[in-house]
Amino acid sequence: MQFGSILKKVRLNAELSQEELAEKMFLSRSAVSRLENDKLELKASDLIRWFQVTNAPEIAAAVICGVDIAALMQLLSSLSLVGWISLILF
């Protein structure tokens, strides 16, 4: 499975530059770029750390559970705060 575009969307959603994310993950900026462009094999530990740093545990859970990540990202990006509240309450 190719995660590069998902990793990039998650990073951008967290409002982090490649440099900022690299620093938090103890990687080079070029490694972040290669991961986002599917040029570097993604290790499970890097995947977990990426979602910790970007505060996206729902994406990590989806990956682990085999959920269609593209569909989840579409849903998450379309929901507003009101949408999240109604989803949680109802």
pLDDT of residue 19: 98
Model pTM score: 0.71
Q: How many domains does the chain have?
A: 1
Domain span at residue 56?
4-89
Half-sphere exposure of 71 (CA within 13 A, CB side): 5
Q: What is the mean pLDDT of each run of 10 residues along the chain (90 residues)?
A: 83 95 96 96 88 86 75 65 49
The answer for residues whose C-beta is within 8 angstroms of residue 48's C-beta and 6 or more apart is: 60
Residue count (the chain): 90
d(CA 30, CA 12): 16
CATH code of the domain in which 31 resides: 1.10.260.40
pLDDT of residue 71: 73
Do 28 and 22 touch, CB atoms closer than 8 A? Answer: yes
pLDDT of residue 82: 47
d(CA 78, CA 38): 25
